[in-house]
Structure 1
Amino acid sequence: MKEDFLHYLWRFKKFDTLHLKTSNGQEITIINVGQYLEQAGPDFFNAQIIIENQKWAGNVEIHLKSSDWYVHHHEKDAAYENVILHVVWEHDTEVFRKNNSEIPVLELKGYVDKEVLTNYQRLVTPKSWVFCEKQLGDLDDFVLKNWQERLFFERLERKSKAIYELLEQTNRDWEAVLFCMLAKNFGLNTNGETFLKIAKAIPFSIIRKESFEVENLEALLFGKSALLDLEKEDAYFKDLKFRYFYLLHKYQLEPDNEGQLQFFKHRPDNFPTIRLSQLAHLYHLHQNLFSKINSISSITAIYQLFQVSTSAYWETHYQFDKVSPKKSKKLSKSFVDLLLINTIIPIQFAYAKSLGKEVAEDLMAMLVEVAPEKNAIIDKFDSFGIKSGNSFETQSLLQLKNEYCAGGRCLDCAIGIELLKKSN
């Protein structure tokens, strides 16, 4: 048994509340269980109870055993001096405040219905993937949809943290933050961190100034990625290298590169050479991209904005000095969907939040129009009866699996709480 189960029992009064007594036999009446605090200090704040006709207001602390009070050294912490009731599963020792007054103890195990315990054990018994996988198919659709909205907003909040960190690093330049976020996502999982380092190594003021010559943007991006370090006979390669060293001198940039890029296991259209060229062309076409993105509220307009290809050289190459059949290499719809999910929607959310505006519902509506993501987690949920029709739903399921299921946080999860209510 885990302590969070006791939190659940107390929070939702999932026990016999009519015949409660302390370990010393005093009658207890619960007026208010208090505010659940998921932070340092007592578990429930400002509870109200009556013990033997005496009304008390204060905090409630919950443990598996009474002796955990001393294991956690609460007797030395002033934050616990206002605890009016110690709720435990098993009472094994008396607990005292600093003034030697005894803290009343409620031992819960005698007041909890066996069915509640059975449901809890069934919920948390380890399975092959998630604890509740065999029960997911029977979940009420209303519960799932409401929980998915909460999960989606949580995921946006989590993604916003990286955006705000970049905002501080770029002197609150939102255009620069967008450039860094897009660079990371153009690099995908394999090269994302290296692309981010490349973007951060080039002051965005330089990107602004050089955006009118796409070759200069490519030279900066390819140079910082170490792709110009070798000697090649290719004329385009030599031109980029010349431009790169000219730009290093012009802007007094350090010549250091930002890491080795990975080509292995990528489809050719995802080679870093192609993605860097597409990124350069995006900023060549749109000098005020952040402003344009923030003025857009439709998926169709986003797709139009990101109709971007490579320079002519990369239509016949995937790597320097290696000619390939000619092919236009535009950003695909599925790739723009990834940018929407991982960059555009989060940065719109973070920017609106910084202005005190509420746009989460609008952003959710946009993602409902985007095709569902395809990955192992979404496939697993699908096999258990939780099917996704759009990216709003897949994003919420990724948040569910990574932030709740993976950590065994069943009793913080609306699905877990709902399943606990179900009878055998």
Structure 2
Amino acid sequence: MQEDFLHYLWQHKKFDTSNLQTTGNESISIISVGTYNENTGPDFFNAQLNIGNQLWAGMVEIHVKASDWYVHNHETDSNYDNVILHVVWEHDTEVFRKDNSLIPTLEIKHYVSKTALNNYEKLFSKSQKWINCENDFYGVDNFIFKNWLERLYLERLERKTESINQLLADSKNNWEAVLFNMLAKNFGLKVNGEAFFSMAKAIDFSIIRKLQSNQTALEALLFGQAGLLEDDIEEAYYLNLVQEYHFLKHKFKLSNQNVMPIQFFRLRPPNFPTIRLSQFAGLYHQSQNLFSQVVDCQNLNEFYDLFSVAASSYWESHYTFGKGSKSAKKPLTKSFINLLLINTIIPIKFNYAMQTGETINDEIISLVEQIPSEANTIVEKFESLKPVSSTALQSQGLIELKNEYCIKNRCLQCAIGSAILTGNH
């Protein structure tokens, strides 16, 4: 038995509350279970209870065994003087306050259904499973899934605001610079995301502003800072970039000493860093005030139009410097733009709205539900248990579910786990 389960039972009143009695045979009527306390001190505060014939208001403390009160030295802690009820699974001793007054005790195990207890033991069994509830996952009601995944998606957006706020602080609230850094990371995808991010942070955004009218200069800056102009290649385009970068490096006193190495290994040619950097340069050459345009876009097609850019003409017949390939334009695909929307554009729009006091949750939900579900190992595994992901909102919610709830065994804080525990799935 875990104390978290007892917290869950009390907080959500998942037990028979009709004829509660203390271990001293006094009746208990719950008016309010109180508010869960995530800090130090008793587990619930501002509870209201009728015990016997008296109305009480105060704290509720919860333990697996009553004797845990003494194990944790609560009898000497004045923070526990206002505890009005001790809720335990096993009453193995009487418990007293600091002034030696007896604290009423509820032995809750007598009021918990066998179904709830069996479901709890089944959910947290030690058998090797990908997620604790995988055997019952399919049977959970779709309405519960829909609402829970939407909430999880918003939780995920809120967590992402932390890293955005740090970038804002570093850039002195320059939203354009923050967008530049975040987009750079996304253009690098998983393999080169951190390397592209370190490259972007090594460039003051004011330099991007000054070079936006010259796409070749932008490419030279990005390729040079990424360390991709250090080979001995006798080709006009390459030599032009090298010359331009040396000029910019001297003019703006640039350094790429802290930029992480760029990788080509295990990448498909369309995702080579050379192609992505050229597309990235094209985006900033095309859009002079990208952040303002991002804020103004309202629907998916507007975003597709905004990010309708391609690598420069040299890259139509190359994937790497000095090696020709079959000629073809290399634009940003809709699937790639979707990734930019999911990982950068929507989080930054959400954060900006929060900072300016706007509420755009409905707009955000509408937008992300227009984007198809992502395909990754987490989503695919959930899909094998139950078809549940058709939109990016759902795939993002599933990623949040796995990483922030399933892996951390937070089943008692999860709507799906709660439904399984109470048999309401």
- Conserved in 2, the CA contact under 8 Å of 1:61 and 1:83? yes
Report the equivalent of 1:50.
50
Report the equivalent of 1:206.
207
For residue 20 of structure 2, give the secondary structure of its aligned residue in structure 1: coil
Alignment-mate amino acid for residue 9 of structure 2:
L
Report the equivalent of 1:138.
139
For residue 87 of structure 1, give the secondary structure of its aligned residue in structure 2: strand
For residue 55 of structure 1, give the secondary structure of its aligned residue in structure 2: strand
Report the equivalent of 1:88.
88
Judged with a 3 Å threshold, the aligned counterparts in structure 2 of structure 1 residues 120 and 291 are, in CA distance, closer, same or farther, namely same
Q: What is the deviation of 1:252? A: 2.2
Q: What is the deviation of 1:76? A: 5.5
Alignment-mate amino acid for residue 208 of structure 1:
R
Does 2:98 align with 1:98?
yes
Does 2:10 align with 1:13?
no
Judged with a 3 Å threshold, the aligned counterparts in structure 2 of structure 1 residues 91 and 255 are, in CA distance, closer, same or farther, namely same
Report the equivalent of 2:350.
349
Aligned residue runs from structure 1 range 71-86, under 5 A: 71-75=71-75, 77-86=77-86
- Conserved in 1, the CA contact under 8 Å of 2:148 and 2:415? yes
Judged with a 3 Å threshold, the aligned counterparts in structure 2 of structure 1 residues 387 and 111 are, in CA distance, closer, same or farther, namely closer
- Conserved in 2, the CA contact under 8 Å of 1:218 and 1:276? yes
- Conserved in 1, the CA contact under 8 Å of 2:119 and 2:421? yes
- RMSD (Å), alpha carbons: 1.9
Alignment-mate amino acid for residue 134 of structure 2:
E
Aligned residue runs from structure 1 range 260-299, under 5 A: 260-299=261-300
For residue 256 of structure 1, give the secondary structure of its aligned residue in structure 2: coil
Unaligned segments of structure 1, at least 5 residues: none
Unaligned segments of structure 2, at least 5 residues: none
Q: Give the distance between the partners of 1:277 and 1:285, measured in 2 at CA.
A: 12
Aligned residue runs from structure 1 range 359-374, under 5 A: 359-374=360-375
Judged with a 3 Å threshold, the aligned counterparts in structure 2 of structure 1 residues 73 and 162 are, in CA distance, closer, same or farther, namely farther
For residue 61 of structure 2, give the secondary structure of its aligned residue in structure 1: strand
Report the equivalent of 2:111.
111
Q: 1:255-313 CA deviation, whole Å, 9 max, x = no partner?
A: 52501111100001101111111111100100100000110001011111111111112
- Conserved in 1, the CA contact under 8 Å of 2:150 and 2:397? yes
For residue 21 of structure 2, give the secondary structure of its aligned residue in structure 1: coil
Q: 1:90-142 CA deviation, whole Å, 9 max, x = no partner?
A: 22344343333333322212222222211222222345211222222222222
- Conserved in 2, the CA contact under 8 Å of 1:136 and 1:386? no
For residue 282 of structure 2, give the secondary structure of its aligned residue in structure 1: helix
Q: Give the distance between the partners of 1:149 and 1:191, measured in 2 at CA.
A: 30
Shifted more, 60-69 versus 260-269: the winner is: 60-69
- Conserved in 1, the CA contact under 8 Å of 2:185 and 2:193? yes
Q: 1:38-83 CA deviation, whole Å, 9 max, x = no partner?
A: 3443221200112232321111121212233344444555433322
Alignment-mate amino acid for residue 13 of structure 1:
K
Q: Give the distance between the partners of 2:290 and 2:276, measured in 1 at CA.
A: 17
Judged with a 3 Å threshold, the aligned counterparts in structure 2 of structure 1 residues 28 and 199 are, in CA distance, closer, same or farther, namely same
Shifted more, 288-297 versus 63-72: the winner is: 63-72
- Conserved in 2, the CA contact under 8 Å of 1:224 and 1:257? no
For this pair of structures, how many residues does the alignment match?
A: 424
Q: Give the distance between the partners of 1:257 and 1:27, measured in 2 at CA.
A: 68
Q: What is the TM-score when the length of structure 2 is the normalising length?
A: 0.94
Q: Give the distance between the partners of 1:74 and 1:241, measured in 2 at CA.
A: 70
- Conserved in 2, the CA contact under 8 Å of 1:127 and 1:133? no
Aligned residue runs from structure 1 range 236-275, under 5 A: 236-256=237-257, 258-275=259-276
Shifted more, 23-32 versus 270-279: the winner is: 23-32
Alignment-mate amino acid for residue 88 of structure 2:
V
Q: What is the TM-score when the length of structure 1 is the normalising length?
A: 0.95
Report the equivalent of 1:120.
120
Judged with a 3 Å threshold, the aligned counterparts in structure 2 of structure 1 residues 337 and 72 are, in CA distance, closer, same or farther, namely farther
- Conserved in 1, the CA contact under 8 Å of 2:115 and 2:423? no
Q: Give the distance between the partners of 1:123 and 1:255, measured in 2 at CA.
A: 51
Report the equivalent of 1:334.
335
Percent identical pairs in the alignment equals 54
Does 2:386 align with 1:414?
no
Q: Give the distance between the partners of 1:74 and 1:215, measured in 2 at CA.
A: 70
Q: Give the distance between the partners of 1:171 and 1:326, measured in 2 at CA.
A: 43
Q: Give the distance between the partners of 2:270 and 2:189, measured in 1 at CA.
A: 12
Q: Give the distance between the partners of 2:73 and 2:181, measured in 1 at CA.
A: 46
Judged with a 3 Å threshold, the aligned counterparts in structure 2 of structure 1 residues 103 and 393 are, in CA distance, closer, same or farther, namely same
For residue 190 of structure 1, give the secondary structure of its aligned residue in structure 2: helix
Q: 1:313-362 CA deviation, whole Å, 9 max, x = no partner?
A: 22222222222222211111110010010011111100011111111111
Q: Give the distance between the partners of 1:67 and 1:291, measured in 2 at CA.
A: 61
Q: Give the distance between the partners of 2:153 and 2:116, measured in 1 at CA.
A: 30
Shifted more, 22-31 versus 351-360: the winner is: 22-31
